[in-house]
Each structure stands twice: as structure tokens, then as C-alpha cells.
């Protein structure tokens, strides 16, 4: 059964650990993440971007696949199915399709518009038992080959959004999606601390979990981060394992071209990456 992410993140914030959101792109990804969560008795959040939703033939397909796997793989740890960086429209579609959690990313709107749209979604989500993540201060990342710096959120704006009753909040603290550039200045713990002072018990979310040094992750958790998103690192480990398999010529040996064999090293690589992150975030044994 899918659950909202509210309870698991409340417990994580109280217990000073973080639950990983691992983005899914296909069946292998989803199965690897669910099995790793179950084997390690960890709660987990499956993230779906709008692009990945389209790639997987729509949100309804994703809901069907995830629910089917939870049942047939006997997954009993708490699993939330969460829209990542949703538009207002994307949130409505995922709520309708059966997601248990959505993120509305209104960080690119002026704060008043972000507040108005987030307020509308808080009401709708809560009437259906779905959790809602909001964002203030945009997360940097690569666009057309240029890596944009991550913004630092205004703590007062974070408080305005928190007061609407959202379940968890992503505040930009200099974090970036994808690989960090060599001249990255690191996370702004000053901003994170100021946001936590004003938002109290609200679980905070750290996007761009790929490649952040372990000590920064631990410090962020100590300052109120209870959910950490990871996407690129799973993609890199999957690609690397597949490349090695092909470079070794294994796809040409026997039935090595069978997709069940060809994708197996990548599947195992994702499992290893997810387990490593769960260890770092402290979520193992917390289901």
C-alpha cells in the first residue's frame, strides 16, 4: 500500500535521520529501490519527475506499476509515490492518478503567486490524505551546458509557505541538481539554520543529493533536513555498470543480449547506491 510521506518524515525529523527520495525512470529502477528498502527495513520515497512520468507512459501507468510491485514483491515498509518538481497542472494530474504525495515547485513564481497556488494545493491534497512539498528559492543545475548556481531561499518567505500547512519544504541553500561544478561554494548552513529557526518542526528537504560530501549531509540532517533527493547518482551507477558489461563483450556472449541479463549489472548498481545512501541518511531499520 502507498502511504503519504507526512508520517515518515515527521518521525525522521524527530529521530534526526533523513528518508531518501530516489527518482525512478523505469521498471528496473523501481524494483531495485523497493527491494533495497525492504531488505534494509527503511521507509522510502519514489520520486517521479514530469519528464519521467511521460517516459513511463503516464502517471496512471506509474501508479499501476508501483502498486503492483508493492503487492507482488511483498513490500511492507512505508512507500510514498511522489511527484518531483511538479507544475500546478502536474500536481492535479498526479493527485487524480493515485500518487500519495506531490511536490509543487512554485519557486520560479513571485512569492505571492507561489503562496496562492501552494495554498490551493494544500487544501486539495489534505482533503485526500496526500502529502504536499513546496519549494522556496530555486535549486540550481545544468541547462544547455551551463551550470546555474543554487539560490539561497529567503527564510521569511519559507515561513510564509510553511504557515500554509505544507507537509515538508524544500528551501534552496546553494544546492544544485546533477554533478557539482569544481568551483561550487558548498551548502549555506547559515540559510538552513535560519529557515529551521522560523519553521520549527517542519521537515526540510534537500534536493540535489548526488555528490554532496557525507559531512555536509550529516550537518544538514542535524539542522532539520528529513528528506534527501537522489537521482543523478543512480543514473551514473546504472550507466557505468552497463558500460562495463558491454565493454567486456558480455552482451555478445551466450544470451548476454537478453535485456534481463544486459540490465542486471545496472540493477545491482542501483541497489548498491541506494543502500549506501540509506546508510548515510540513517534510515536503515527505521521502517
Residues interacting with ligand 13P, by CB under 6 A? 23, 47, 84-85, 177-178, 207-210, 229-233
Q: Which residue, 133 or 157, is less far from ligand 13P as judged by CB?
A: 133
Q: Which of 177, 250, 245, 171 is nearest to 203 (CA)?
A: 171
Give the shortest CB-73-to-ligand 13P separation in angstroms.
Answer: 24
Cell numbers found for residue 30: 523501481
Q: Where are any strands of DSSP class E within the chain?
A: 19-23, 44-49, 79-86, 101-104, 131-136, 141-143, 146-148, 168-171, 204-206, 225-230
Nearer Cβ to ligand 13P (122/217)? 217
Distances (CA, A) of 190 to 47, 186, 216: 28, 11, 13
84, 154, 193, 258: which is the annotated catalytic residue? 84
Which residue shows C-alpha cell 529551521?
196
Q: Is 169 helix (H, G, I), strand (E, B) or coil?
A: strand
Q: How far is the CB of 46 from ligand 13P (least distance, A)?
A: 12
Q: Least CB distance from residue 169 to ligand 13P, whole Å? A: 14
- Is-contact 171 136, C-beta < 8 A? yes
Q: Which is nearer to ligand 13P, 13 or 85 (CB)?
A: 85
Write out the three cell numbers for 37: 528498502
**Cβ at position 81, least distance to ligand 13P in Å:** 14
Q: How far is the CB of 78 from ligand 13P (least distance, A)?
A: 20
Q: How many CB atoms lie within 10 A of CB 266?
A: 23
CB atoms within 10 A of CB 174: 22
144 carries an active-site annotation: no
Enzyme catalytic residues: 84
Amino acid at each position: 500500500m502507498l502511504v503519504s510521506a507526512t508520517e515518515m518524515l515527521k518521525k525522521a525529523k524527530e529521530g534526526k535521520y533523513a528518508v531518501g527520495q530516489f527518482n525512478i525512470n523505469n521498471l528496473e529502477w523501481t524494483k531495485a529501490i523497493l527491494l533495497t528498502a525492504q531488505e534494509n527495513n527503511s521507509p522510502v520515497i519514489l520520486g517521479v519527475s514530469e519528464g519521467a512520468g511521460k517516459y513511463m507512459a503516464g502517471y496512471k501507468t506509474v501508479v499501476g506499476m508501483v502498486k503492483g510491485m508493492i503487492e507482488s514483491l511483498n513490500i511492507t515498509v512505508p512507500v510514498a509515490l511522489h511527484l518531483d518538481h511538479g507544475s500546478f497542472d502536474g500536481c492535479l494530474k498526479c493527485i487524480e492518478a493515485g500518487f500519495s504525495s506531490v511536490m509543487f515547485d512554485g519557486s520560479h513564481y513571485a512569492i505571492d503567486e507561489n503562496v496562492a497556488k501552494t495554498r490551493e494545493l494544500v487544501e486539495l491534497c489534505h482533503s485526500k490524505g496526500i502529502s504536499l512539498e513546496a519549494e522556496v528559492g530555486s535549486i540550481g543545475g545544468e541547462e544547455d551546458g551551463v551550470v546555474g548556481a543554487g539560490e539561497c531561499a529567503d527564510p521569511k518567505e519559507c515561513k510564509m509557505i510553511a504557515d500554509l500547512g505544507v507537509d515538508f519544504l524544500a528551501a534552496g541553500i546553494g544546492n544544485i541538481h546533477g554533478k557539482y561544478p569544481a568551483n561550487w561554494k558548498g551548502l549555506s548552513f547559515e540559510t538552513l539554520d535560519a529557515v529551521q529557526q522560523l519553521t520549527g518542526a517542519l521537515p526540510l528537504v534537500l534536493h540535489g543529493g548526488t555528490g554532496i560530501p557525507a559531512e555536509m549531509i550529516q550537518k544538514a540532517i542535524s539542522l532539520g533536513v528529513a528528506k534527501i533527493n537522489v537521482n543523478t547518482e543512480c543514473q551514473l551507477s546504472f550507466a557505468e555498470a552497463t558500460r562495463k558489461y558491454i565493454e567486456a563483450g558480455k552482451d555478445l556472449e551466450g544470451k548476454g543480449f537478453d535485456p534481463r541479463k544486459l540490465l542486471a549489472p545496472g540493477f545491482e548498481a542501483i541497489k548498491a547506491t541506494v543502500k549506501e545512501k540509506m546508510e548515510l541518511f540513517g534510515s536503515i531499520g527505521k521502517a
